[in-house]
Amino acid sequence: MSSSSIKSRITICTSIANSRGADPMGPAQQRPSGEIHVIVGPMFAGKTTALLRRVKSEGANGRKVALIKSSKDNRYAVDSVVTHDGIKYPCLALPNLQAFTQRLGSDAYNKLDVIGIDEAQFFDDLYEFCCKAADNDGKTIVIAGLDGDYLRRSFGSVLDIIPIADTVTKLTARCELCGKKAFFTLRKNGETQTELIAGADVYMPVCRQHYVSGQVIVEAAKAQSDHTLDPAAVKY
């Protein structure tokens, strides 16, 4: 092989390496890389607490943060995200995520670094919003939501985000009946609509064994028109 052909190969390799490292949009339009982090788990697993911790720590590091929750969930406060143990953080309560940019205005949106989304299962446009915000706009998105409903079916669009996420964390609660790790949410009454927003009066976190035995009792109670589950009746 002649020295000139080696030289030309080296030149080609160098130009490929350079083109890989360069932003095809040019240096003037370089954007920070976006991220998507997903926190899932049953009710009472501390998802909102984990979301608030992350959002607060990003804010403490000088990044501009915003927090969104669904306007469907007004159990504790309209303009705050509140954990089950009473920790509060100001937020926008919105019917959908498209409304976020409209409400905020594009200048304020462009300045944001981090967007937290609580109760993400209630947003139908979650996938489109996260894709654009992370891929095109360089935002860090942290979402918290239920992965499954009371029948352990995929809830809303939360699971659709996993293929585009950087990290996925599944938190657990404590089974209300035996104290083991709880992965599921049992609905204690016989109501059948998927979105029934309530707290510990209607839902409890349970382990696999008590989910299965609890469902049997709820079904039996429903058949007898008794809409309340007596936890003491669940067989250990």
The smaller minimum CB distance to Zn ion, of residues 151 and 212, is found at: 212
How is residue 137 annotated by DSSP? T
175 touching Zn ion, by CB under 5 A: yes
The secondary structure of 18-84 as a DSSP string is HHHHS-TT-GGG--PPPEEEEEEESTTSSHHHHHHHHHHHHHHTT--EEEEEETT--SS-SSEEE-T
| Nearest CB to Zn ion, comparing residues 50 and 206 | 206
Q: Which two tokens stand for residue 74?
A: 């007004």
- In the complex, the smallest distance separating the C-beta of residue 76 from Zn ion, rounded to whole angstroms, is 27
Among 41, 43, 210, 218, binds Zn ion (CB under 5 A): 210
Q: How far is the CB of 220 from Zn ion (least distance, A)?
A: 18
Cα–Cα nearest to 95, from 67, 73, 127:
73
The distance of closest approach from Cβ of residue 192 to Zn ion in the complex, given in angstroms and rounded to an integer, is 24
207: contact with Zn ion by CB under 5 A: yes
| Backbone dihedral angles phi then psi of residue 219, each to the nearest 5 degrees | -60, -45
Site string for Zn ion, 99-138 (x = CB under 5 A): ----------------------------------------
Site map for Zn ion, 176-205, x if CB under 5 A?
-xx---------------------------
Instruction: Please give the helix or strand (H or E) that residue 90 lies within, else none.
Output: strand 88-90
For residue 119, indicate whether it is catalytic.
yes
The reply on whether position 168 binds Zn ion by CB under 5 A is no
Query: What is the rounded CA–CA span in Å between residue 42 and residue 146?
Result: 6
What are the residue numbers of the active site? 119
